[in-house]
A and B are shown apart, each in its own frame.
Chain A
């Protein structure tokens, strides 16, 4: 992998649009996927994730916009761009009357003479060596997913594009898959682009993500940045553990530092009126009122919360305008 350019982009699109009649499945998408990262493409069902992947790979033609893969403009240099790209689009499909190894032989033949020697290692890597001679019609969905990954590995890919890759995997398989993806990124320097509607999956595997809804990229950035943005519009939140809940509730309700306060399962949930650093002042207020504070911790927002905030607010005209801006 030493020939990997550093600091560049594995995927870059500008104004990428795909229309089916009047409906825009993807609409003016500007996407930047850094090289050497695991990048999540996150969105609800029907958001345009698969159409985006199909357009990038040349399975369907873009209606407008430009795109490049591994630095090569597509479709102008599509063949060169895809030489080192492995992809699973929707569920992996195979000739079910052939064995796993034979299916890989077919793709190896299409990719080039040097690829055939990668079949054995690819099967071994996904744990299918022992079932390689079995016909694919006897494979479980999880085994087909793994065979799909093996097929991707035949390209010795700089970039892997995986569409809902953990579908059909059992919990053990999902864990193995996560490990394999992280290994590819961290040890082999590959870029992995994962489309998913499973927020937890993306949060665990990916370094960065884009959230897509109704064909548009709503936001993109590092996972930590995206998650940190959750709740930003509503102010910072704290969880308080106090000795006297009634007194604390009354004190905080009267304080100008607090926008909202609600009893929570194990104390109080407070939405601050100001910046997060007002937490210290809030503590002083409570102590001054004679309330013993046992615990004071910031609420950690998840990517899921951020995702739900964004996608649910998109129905509101103001939020839609903000997202478009």
Chain B
């Protein structure tokens, strides 16, 4: 497969995803609505009682927004899109029609990942733009993040949502079921990960939790649960790489070997 065909196939996979209106709208709602609600509520509280409530924007608002985008609702949007990208062909029954073209199954799997990443990152970029806008609009004279912090925050948000999206593509391709992949990943992201990370008795094994490794790259202090798992940058990179490799390899294996 040459670069032209790879680009065409990725564009085709992107077309399938972006035209899936329901998934795209829900992903946008998940990425934007909580942030919007956060700014509106915080701004209202601040205006009603400035002494008690900090401004919605500024460094505090930016830090809370990063938490919303990169660690909570952004990954949910990424799961939604990644699961669609990983299982869409199998669910619609089109996979076999792609296989009979003679194109390698690995190629069919591989181009789903950049397509899902592209859409997830567009959604994340919209949310991040809203975050930056709110950070400055509602700063009310308090310090605002520097340009480098803003750029690092963007990189961190793209890393977080991108990794989760790629894992979702792999898991959905493995299960060939979008609902199954959604259930497992949302359960892991929203329930299992935070609970496991907060259990101190699990010790260093908590370093294997994906979200804990991702948090390591945040430009601002976002993990205020008190159960932060300390790890070196090298280990954080390794944990993220292992998660990606395992799920992408499983997805590729299933795509290559399953009856179409």
Residues of A within 8 A of B (CB): 54, 57-60, 78-83, 85, 87, 89, 92-98, 102-103, 105-107, 109-113, 151, 155
In residues 85-139 of chain B, which contact A (Cβ within 8 Å)? 88, 92-94, 96-104, 108
With A58-B99, A59-B99, A102-B19 already in contact, the answer to whether A110 and B108 are too (CB < 8 A) is yes
Residues of B within 8 A of A (CB): 4-5, 8-9, 11-12, 15-16, 19-21, 88, 92-94, 96-104, 108, 259-260
Specify the chain A residue showing the minimal Cβ separation from B11: A109
- For the complex of A and B, the 5 pairs showing the least CB-CB separation, nearest first, are A82-B102, A93-B93, A109-B12, A109-B8, A59-B260
Specify the chain A residue showing the minimal Cβ separation from B15: A102
The majority secondary structure among interface residues of chain B is helix
B15 touching A105 by the CB < 8 A rule? yes
In the assembled complex, which residues on chain A have CB atoms less than 8 Å from the CB atom of B4? 113
In the assembled complex, which residues on chain B have CB atoms less than 8 Å from the CB atom of A103? 94
B92 touching A96 by the CB < 8 A rule? yes
A110 touching B9 by the CB < 8 A rule? yes
Shortest Cβ distance from residue B253 to the other chain A in the assembled complex, whole angstroms: 15
Shortest Cβ distance from residue A87 to the other chain B in the assembled complex, whole angstroms: 5
Shortest Cβ distance from residue A67 to the other chain B in the assembled complex, whole angstroms: 14
Specify the chain B residue showing the minimal Cβ separation from A113: B4
With A59-B260, A95-B88, A98-B16 already in contact, the answer to whether A85 and B102 are too (CB < 8 A) is yes
Specify the chain B residue showing the minimal Cβ separation from A106: B12
Shortest Cβ distance from residue B257 to the other chain A in the assembled complex, whole angstroms: 9
B102 touching A83 by the CB < 8 A rule? yes
In the assembled complex, which residues on chain A have CB atoms less than 8 Å from the CB atom of B11? 109
B101 touching A107 by the CB < 8 A rule? yes
Shortest Cβ distance from residue B137 to the other chain A in the assembled complex, whole angstroms: 37
In the assembled complex, which residues on chain A have CB atoms less than 8 Å from the CB atom of B108? 110
In the assembled complex, which residues on chain A have CB atoms less than 8 Å from the CB atom of B21? 97
25 A-B residue pairs with Cβ-Cβ distance under 8 Å, sorted by A, are A54-B96, A57-B100, A59-B259, A60-B259, A82-B102, A83-B102, A85-B102, A89-B97, A93-B94, A95-B92, A96-B92, A97-B19, A98-B16, A98-B19, A102-B15, A105-B15, A106-B12, A106-B94, A107-B97, A109-B11, A110-B5, A110-B9, A110-B98, A110-B108, A111-B101
Specify the chain A residue showing the minimal Cβ separation from B8: A109
In the assembled complex, which residues on chain A have CB atoms less than 8 Å from the CB atom of B96? 54, 59, 89, 93
Specify the chain A residue showing the minimal Cβ separation from B6: A109
With A94-B92, A106-B16 already in contact, the answer to whether A80 and B102 are too (CB < 8 A) is yes
In the assembled complex, which residues on chain B have CB atoms less than 8 Å from the CB atom of A89? 96-97, 100
From B92, B93, B103, contact of A111 by CB (8 A): B103
From A59, A80, A95, A113, contact of B100 by CB (8 A): A59
In the assembled complex, which residues on chain B have CB atoms less than 8 Å from the CB atom of A105? 12, 15
Complex Cα distance, B88 from A166, in Å, reads: 27
Complex Cα distance, B19 from A109, in Å, reads: 17
Shortest Cβ distance from residue A174 to the other chain B in the assembled complex, whole angstroms: 23
In the assembled complex, which residues on chain B have CB atoms less than 8 Å from the CB atom of A94? 92, 94
Shortest Cβ distance from residue A104 to the other chain B in the assembled complex, whole angstroms: 10
Shortest Cβ distance from residue A127 to the other chain B in the assembled complex, whole angstroms: 20
In the assembled complex, which residues on chain B have CB atoms less than 8 Å from the CB atom of A111? 101, 103
In the assembled complex, which residues on chain B have CB atoms less than 8 Å from the CB atom of A106? 12, 15-16, 94, 98
B100 touching A82 by the CB < 8 A rule? yes
From B12, B20, B101, contact of A82 by CB (8 A): B101
Complex Cα distance, B101 from A151, in Å, reads: 10
A85 touching B93 by the CB < 8 A rule? no
In the assembled complex, which residues on chain B have CB atoms less than 8 Å from the CB atom of A60? 259-260
From A83, A87, A93, A110, contact of B92 by CB (8 A): A93
With A59-B260, A110-B9 already in contact, the answer to whether A97 and B20 are too (CB < 8 A) is yes
Specify the chain B residue showing the minimal Cβ separation from A151: B97
In the assembled complex, which residues on chain A have CB atoms less than 8 Å from the CB atom of B12? 105-106, 109-110
A95 touching B102 by the CB < 8 A rule? no
In the assembled complex, which residues on chain A have CB atoms less than 8 Å from the CB atom of B20? 97
In the assembled complex, which residues on chain A have CB atoms less than 8 Å from the CB atom of B9? 109-110
Complex Cα distance, B100 from A83, in Å, reads: 9
B103 touching A87 by the CB < 8 A rule? no
B94 touching A110 by the CB < 8 A rule? no
Complex Cα distance, B15 from A153, in Å, reads: 22
Complex Cα distance, B5 from A111, in Å, reads: 8
In the assembled complex, which residues on chain A have CB atoms less than 8 Å from the CB atom of B93? 93
Shortest Cβ distance from residue B6 to the other chain A in the assembled complex, whole angstroms: 10
Complex Cα distance, B86 from A247, in Å, reads: 79
In the assembled complex, which residues on chain B have CB atoms less than 8 Å from the CB atom of A98? 15-16, 19
Complex Cα distance, B94 from A79, in Å, reads: 18
Complex Cα distance, B260 from A60, in Å, reads: 7
